[in-house]
Amino acid sequence: MRLTTKGRFAVTAMIDLGMRHGQGPVTLAGISDRQKISLSYLEQLFGKLRRHALVDSVRGPGGGYCLAKSMDEVSVADIIRAVDEPIDATQCGGRGNCRDDEQQCMTHDLWMNLNARIFDYLTSVKLSHLVESQNVEGVAVANDGRGGHIGKAEGLLVA
């Protein structure tokens, strides 16, 4: 199983958005500059995030995107699902037709159980945790002055 750039970039962009929560709408151009993600790619991702009610768009001068939900309500799994990223370690997409004869392979249940564990983990990691982790790391880097990672939160998936 491999998470593609679509899922990685969506999570990264949502962390960036979360770090600026409460400061007004955030432009995709700003996210693009800070995260080095193509603006056209972000437009595609944010269209999907908006359709899944994870972000709201604000039109006009000073417009951009804001979170549509509390960061505690948004999981990494929500973000990845919103951009149509499959979380699947099976060859068959979970359908059970793994082999040429349309039967399950001997390891089908193993990979399905792995899928469930991965999904449970990604559901447990909230956007608020990732934003807090980045804020702690940012303060540590600023205080260290050498780019060190003093105080980095442990055990969190950080994109």
Of residues 138 and 72, which shows the higher confidence score? 72
55-58 and 64-67 beta bridge pairing: antiparallel
9-60 tens-digit pLDDT = 999 999 999 999 999 999 999 999 999 999 999 999 999 999 999 999 999 8
- Is 72 found in the same domain as 102? no
Amino acid 45: pLDDT? 97
- Is 77 found in the same domain as 49? yes
53-104 tens-digit pLDDT = 999 999 988 899 999 999 999 999 999 999 977 778 877 877 878 777 778 8
For residue 105, the enclosing domain spans 87-125
Tell me if 132 is assigned to some domain. no
* Measured distance CA(52)–CA(83) in Å, rounded: 9
- Is 21 found in the same domain as 80? yes
Tell me if 39 is assigned to some domain. yes
Of residues 20 and 153, which shows the higher confidence score? 20
Number of domains within the chain: 2
* pTM, rounded to two decimals: 0.80
The 3-state secondary structure of the chain reads CCCCHHHHHHHHHHHHHHHCCCCCCECHHHHHHHHCCCHHHHHHHHHHHHHCCCEEEECCCCCEEEECCCHHHCEHHHHHHHCCCCCCCCCCCCCCCCCCCCCCCCCHHHHHHHHHHHHHHHHHCEHHHHHHHHHHHHHHHHHHCCCCCCCCCCCCCCC
Q: Is the pLDDT of residue 145 over 70?
A: no
